[in-house]
Amino acid sequence: MIEKRLDDLHTYLENTFTYEERKVWNRADKDLIFALMKIEEIKNDIR
pLDDT score, position 17: 77
Residue 37, class by beta-carbon neighbours within 10 Å (0-12 exposed, 13-18 middle, 19+ buried)?
exposed
Residues 25, 12: contact at Cβ < 8 Å?
Answer: no
Q: What are the two backbone dihedrals, phi and then psi, of residue 25, each rounded to the nearest 5 degrees?
A: -60, -45
- Give the C-alpha separation, 1 to 5, whole Å: 6
Q: How do the pLDDT tens digits run along the chain, 47 residues long?
A: 778 887 787 788 778 878 888 788 778 888 888 888 898 898 888 87
Smallest CA-to-CA distance from 7 within 27, 22, 29, 38 is with 29
pLDDT score, position 11: 83
Is the model's pTM score more than 0.85? no
